[in-house]
A = this chain, B = another copy of it.
């Protein structure tokens, strides 16, 4: 295993740097330590009592073995690997691919160590139709991985039914067995039933692990392994971070510090949490984090049943790209944000900037510099500018970008989320508010038995011309 680590840097949230109004003072940090330490103990207790099964995923030996065996088989003659899933069954898959495989992976046969990867997490007919047009004559070299614990998620089910019909039409009745892998509940549910009846190869969505905590299970691991990502290193990274995040000494535990600082700022009116990766590779990990953070902490009721309506709003801003889009607001707009930078200390690949033309000596400062130096300079420069305006900034520093550090990052933010849930005193593992929208979709699709709800929705479903301009 690599020796690369990730680190949390928190000096730039202190009052020494950004002053007493927006910074955290020494005594406030002591207070945070006192408040948070019992929560670390409590989370360790919950974990030992088997109440947070996601924590044990990096130690599971069956899953990676199953996944690697299946991946090895798939890689023999698969040219395209397609994930059909949504939310927790897609964001982790996308994030691992962007983080650990080359930018030109799908386009460049030479840079690709595995089949092309596509992840569809929508039901847009323009998008999916364009893909179907392309893949239509390549079905026998394409494997579809349908991921859904229940199999009743409307988007995934719809995509699956399109693909099933296409495969049966083009490859005959045995096509499904060869081209489809179902990742589903081990025993019951719609997708399990369908998979068993059709004789599909299957993997398991573990029990008790919510979608947003499932990336280190077969949900996220299969597409990664198929595309040549070292899932053993990924899991080893998660285990290494587990030790650090279980540490009951507040100031040595990066998840505890991260959760406490986030909670501190939320309770003081900074309701927006901006994640700003200075690495294109890390950009989709920010979307994975957006789900983890929003769905876990956005809650109406606390654990005592009191109405609280809490939850920081996570925002992704990619450096340097979004400097040229958002930094004006971030510096001069309301001081209502906590910034978390992601920084890579050493890039495994670099590009040297060429010489400036003689007519433009003002660009000489760039000549012969590694591009990574410019990227990291821009990170520091943006942070400096934000600090100048007293905006609090955290940094997650990656020694380097590899499967181990990505595994560490995932685990760090999962445990941070659990601890933040305890600080907010809410249930971080449910998502009660997503049901009404699902039911309303059924009603709008005329699913039998939903007529009463359909009647209620009618005023929203029909636009009132008096308000249409």
**A36, B14: Cα distance in complex, Å:** 43
Chain A residues 282-300 with CB under 8 Å of chain B are 287, 290-291, 294-295, 297-300
**Contact between A134 and B354 (Cβ–Cβ < 8 Å)?**
no
- Set of chain B residues within 8 Å of A397, measured between Cβ atoms: 463, 468
Summarize A's interface: helix, strand, loop or mixed: helix
**Contact between A91 and B325 (Cβ–Cβ < 8 Å)?**
yes
Residue of B nearest to A453 (CB): B384
- Set of chain B residues within 8 Å of A25, measured between Cβ atoms: none
Among B124, B127, B287, B381, the residue within 8 A (CB) of A444 is B381
- Set of chain B residues within 8 Å of A141, measured between Cβ atoms: none
CB distance from A339 to the nearest CB of B (A): 12
- Show 17 A/B contacts (Cβ-Cβ < 8 Å), sorted by A: A9-B463, A14-B467, A86-B320, A91-B325, A103-B127, A122-B318, A122-B319, A125-B372, A125-B375, A130-B349, A158-B366, A291-B326, A313-B333, A315-B315, A327-B433, A377-B441, A381-B443
**Contact between A315 and B318 (Cβ–Cβ < 8 Å)?**
no
Residue of B nearest to A266 (CB): B334
Residue of B nearest to A430 (CB): B328
**Contact between B295 and A328 (Cβ–Cβ < 8 Å)?**
yes
Given contacts A363-B190, A438-B381, contact A126 B102 (CB under 8 A): yes
Among B14, B157, B331, B431, the residue within 8 A (CB) of A366 is B157
**A295, B337: Cα distance in complex, Å:** 16
Among B281, B332, B468, the residue within 8 A (CB) of A309 is B332
- Set of chain B residues within 8 Å of A253, measured between Cβ atoms: 469
Taking the complex as formed, is A310 at the interface, i.e. its CB lies under 8 A from any CB of chain B?
yes
CB distance from A343 to the nearest CB of B (A): 10
Chain A residues 301-335 with CB under 8 Å of chain B are 309-311, 313, 315, 318-335
When A and B form their complex, which 6 residue pairs have the shortest distance between CB atoms, in order from nearest? A298-B329, A87-B324, A165-B354, A311-B333, A381-B440, A11-B467
**Contact between B128 and A351 (Cβ–Cβ < 8 Å)?**
yes
- Set of chain B residues within 8 Å of A355, measured between Cβ atoms: 161, 165
**Contact between A161 and B125 (Cβ–Cβ < 8 Å)?**
no
Residue of B nearest to A435 (CB): B385
- Set of chain B residues within 8 Å of A320, measured between Cβ atoms: 86, 122-123, 155
Q: Which of A64-72, A105-113, A201-209, A221-229 contacts B (4 or more CB under 8 A)?
A: A105-113
User: Chain copies in the assembly?
Assistant: 2
Residue of B nearest to A124 (CB): B280
- Set of chain B residues within 8 Å of A357, measured between Cβ atoms: 164, 194, 197-198
Taking the complex as formed, is A59 at the interface, i.e. its CB lies under 8 A from any CB of chain B?
no
Residue of B nearest to A381 (CB): B440
Residue of B nearest to A103 (CB): B130
Among B121, B152, B272, B365, the residue within 8 A (CB) of A321 is B121
Residue of B nearest to A294 (CB): B329
**Range of interface residues on A (Cβ < 8 Å):** 35 or more
Given contacts A351-B128, A385-B433, contact A371 B311 (CB under 8 A): no
- Set of chain B residues within 8 Å of A401, measured between Cβ atoms: 126
- Set of chain B residues within 8 Å of A467, measured between Cβ atoms: 9-11, 14
Residue of B nearest to A441 (CB): B381
Residue of B nearest to A373 (CB): B445
**Contact between B131 and A104 (Cβ–Cβ < 8 Å)?**
yes
**Contact between B336 and A271 (Cβ–Cβ < 8 Å)?**
yes
Residue of B nearest to A319 (CB): B122
**A299, B333: Cα distance in complex, Å:** 5
**Contact between B299 and A332 (Cβ–Cβ < 8 Å)?**
yes
CB distance from A213 to the nearest CB of B (A): 13
Taking the complex as formed, is A446 at the interface, i.e. its CB lies under 8 A from any CB of chain B?
yes
Taking the complex as formed, is A30 at the interface, i.e. its CB lies under 8 A from any CB of chain B?
no
**Contact between B366 and A328 (Cβ–Cβ < 8 Å)?**
no
CB distance from A331 to the nearest CB of B (A): 4
Residue of B nearest to A464 (CB): B11
Taking the complex as formed, is A172 at the interface, i.e. its CB lies under 8 A from any CB of chain B?
no
**Contact between B388 and A436 (Cβ–Cβ < 8 Å)?**
yes
- Set of chain B residues within 8 Å of A88, measured between Cβ atoms: 324
Taking the complex as formed, is A457 at the interface, i.e. its CB lies under 8 A from any CB of chain B?
yes
**Contact between B324 and A434 (Cβ–Cβ < 8 Å)?**
yes
**Contact between A280 and B126 (Cβ–Cβ < 8 Å)?**
yes
**A395, B462: Cα distance in complex, Å:** 12
CB distance from A436 to the nearest CB of B (A): 4
